[in-house]
Amino acid sequence: MPRPLKLLIHGAALRANLRRARSLASASRVLAVVKADAYGHGLARVVQGLAEADGFGVACLEEAALLRELGVRRPILLLEGCFSGADLERARELKLDLVVHQEEQLRMLEQPCTTSPPRVWLKINTGMNRLGFPPQDARAAWERLRALAGLAGEPLWMTHLACAAQPEHPANAEQLRLFKNLTRGLPGPRSIANSAALLELPESHADWVRPGLMLYGAAPFEKPHGAGLGLHPAMTLRSSIIARQQVPAGGQVGYGGAWRCERATCVGIVACGYGDGYPWNARAGTPIWINGRRMPLLGPPAMDMLAVALEAPAHIGDPVELWGKHLPVEEVAASSGTITHELLCRMQSCQRAVELEEEEDGPVAETPSPGARPGACA
Ligand SMILES: *Cc1c(COP(=O)(O)O)cnc(C)c1O
C-alpha cells in the first residue's frame, strides 16, 4: 500500500480563480503565470483548469515546450527571455513570445535568421531593479525592436511592480507614473499587474494582466487570505494518522526531545514531513486539520512524519489536511516564516513522494468531536 500522503489538485478551483481574475480585470487579457511547474501544482495538471487563459507565462524553455506538447496553441511568454542564441532558435521553433529586458537579448534578435520572428515584450525597469531596460534607454530599445524586419506585430510594453503586495506603498504610484510617461503616445499593448496589482491596483490592469499566485487560490497579502478575496485553494496536501502515542505530563516528542508535553497528551503521528515539502521550520502550534477541527503541530516535523496533539478523538487512518480546502496555505506559510509562493513551489521537488490526482470538488466529511477526557487517546 502506498503512503497515505496525497497532493490533490482541484481543477474546478483553478477554473473559478481564473474567472475571478477575469471579472476583476474585465478589460484585460489574462496571461496565466505557470512558472516553477505551475507553482508546484504540476504544469501538466493545471493546464486543463487554466485552458481558458489568453496566454501563459513560463520561466524556461522546458516549460514552454511541455505546454506546446500538451496542445497549447495560445501565446506562451518566456518571462526572462532567452539566455543564448540556441535558446532563441528553439523559442522560434516553439513560436514563443519573448521578454527582452537587456541589451544582450536585443543583439541576439538583431542577428539575421530565417525562421519566423517572435513577438517581443519589452521590459522596462521602473523601480524593481531586477530585470528591464533603464527608463532612459527604453525608447531606443523599442525603436530597434520595431526596426527588426518581420517582427510579429508591435512590441508589447511591460514592467513589474516591486511593492504591489503593499497596495498603499508610494512606490506603486511612482512606477505607474514613470511607465505611463515613457510609453505615452506610443503604440503597443501594455502589461504591468501581477496578482497583487490585479487584486488591489485597478489602475495597473492595462492590456494584459499576469496573475500567478491568485490562480492557485492564495492571496499575496498577509490578510485577507484567498477565501476572503473570492478565491479557492487549488491544492490540498492530505495524509492520515499512522500511529498514536499516549504521552504523560513531562514526556517528550521527537528528536532531541524537541517538544515537551506540559500535560498528558494524546499524540498523533502523521505521514508527512519535510522530505515531502512540509516546512521544517513550521512553528509548534501550526494548525493541522483533523476530523473537522484544527489541532496543533508539536515541535518540528521529521523527514517523513510529524506529530500533532490530538485534542479531540482521532484514530489511526483518520484523514489529515496539512493545507488546502479547510486550512489556508497562507496560514501555514506565515507560521513557518516563509511566503505562500515559496511553500507551494516546494511541492515541485516533492512530486515523486506524493501521489497526484485530479479531484473534483466534494466536501470532506466533518466529524463532530464528542466529549472526551482531555489528553487521553480515546
Ligand atoms: C512571477 C511573475 C508574475 C506573477 O506573480 P504573482 O505574484 O504570483 O501573481 C507576474 N509577472 C512576472 C514578470 C513574474 O515574474
In ligand 1, which atom is closest to the CA atom of 213? 8
Range of the domain at 79: 11-216
pLDDT of residue 360: 58
365 lies in a domain? no
Report angle CA 273, 302, 235 to the nearest 5 degrees.
Answer: 15
* 227 CA to centre of ligand 1 in angstroms: 20
Pocket of ligand 1 (CB under 6 A): 33, 35, 79, 160, 194-196, 210-213, 220
* 153 CA to centre of ligand 1 in angstroms: 24
Which residue has the CA at smallest separation from atom 4 of ligand 1? 212
Q: Tens digit of pLDDT per residue, the chain (378 long)?
A: 778 999 999 999 999 999 999 999 999 999 999 999 999 999 999 999 999 999 999 999 999 999 999 999 999 999 999 999 999 999 999 999 999 999 999 999 998 877 777 899 999 999 999 999 999 999 999 999 998 876 778 999 999 999 999 999 999 999 999 999 999 999 999 999 999 999 999 999 999 999 999 999 999 998 899 999 999 999 999 999 999 999 999 999 999 998 999 999 999 999 999 999 999 999 999 999 999 999 999 999 999 999 999 999 999 999 999 999 999 999 999 999 999 999 999 998 666 555 556 655 554 444 444 555 668 887
Residue 149 belongs to domain with CATH number: 3.20.20.10
Are 199 and 275 found together in one domain?
no
240 lies in a domain? yes
Residue written as grid cell 518581420? 150
Are 162 and 300 found together in one domain?
no
Which residue has the CA at smallest separation from atom 6 of ligand 1? 212
Residue written as grid cell 490585479? 198
Are 205 and 270 found together in one domain?
no
133 lies in a domain? yes
* 194 CA to centre of ligand 1 in angstroms: 5
Are 177 and 95 found together in one domain?
yes
Are 241 and 185 found together in one domain?
no
**What's the rounded Cα separation, in Å, for the pair 367 and 378?**
15
Are 241 and 344 found together in one domain?
yes
- pTM for the complete prediction? 0.93
Are 159 and 256 found together in one domain?
no
**How many domains are contained in the chain?**
2
Contact 189, 207 (CB under 8 A): yes
* 199 CA to centre of ligand 1 in angstroms: 13
Residue written as grid cell 477575469? 22
In ligand 1, which atom is closest to the CA atom of 123? 13
**What's the rounded Cα separation, in Å, for the pair 254 and 242?**
15
pLDDT of residue 366: 43
pLDDT of residue 184: 96
Are 194 and 117 found together in one domain?
yes
Share of the chain residues as helix, strand and coil, in percent rounded to the nearest 5 = 30, 20, 50
210 lies in a domain? yes
Are 41 and 155 found together in one domain?
yes
User: Of 210, 214, 330, 343, which is best to mutate to test ligand 1, by the most ligand atoms within 8 angstroms of its C-beta?
Assistant: 210
Residue 246 belongs to domain with CATH number: 2.40.37.10
Are 156 and 126 found together in one domain?
yes
pLDDT of residue 365: 43
* 243 CA to centre of ligand 1 in angstroms: 41
Which residue has the CA at smallest separation from atom 15 of ligand 1? 79
pLDDT of residue 24: 98
In ligand 1, which atom is closest to the CA atom of 39? 8
Report, as residue numbers or ranges, the catalytic residues.
35, 255
- Please list the alpha-helical segments (H only) found in 111-194: 135-147, 170-183
**What's the rounded Cα separation, in Å, for the pair 311 and 292?**
12
Contact 111, 84 (CB under 8 A): no
User: Of 14, 33, 198, which is best to mutate to test ligand 1, by the most ligand atoms within 8 angstroms of its C-beta?
Assistant: 33
136 lies in a domain? yes
* 368 CA to centre of ligand 1 in angstroms: 41
376 lies in a domain? no
Contact partners, residue 323, CB within 8 Å, separation at least 6? 233, 235, 236, 237, 329, 331, 332, 343
Q: What is the dihedral of CA 127, 131, 133, 134, to 10 degrees?
A: 30
In ligand 1, which atom is closest to the CA atom of 131? 13
Are 100 and 242 found together in one domain?
no
User: Of 30, 129, 194, which is best to mutate to test ligand 1, by the most ligand atoms within 8 angstroms of its C-beta?
Assistant: 194
Instruction: Give strand pairing partners of 158.
Output: 123, 191
Are 201 and 301 found together in one domain?
no
311 lies in a domain? yes
366 lies in a domain? no
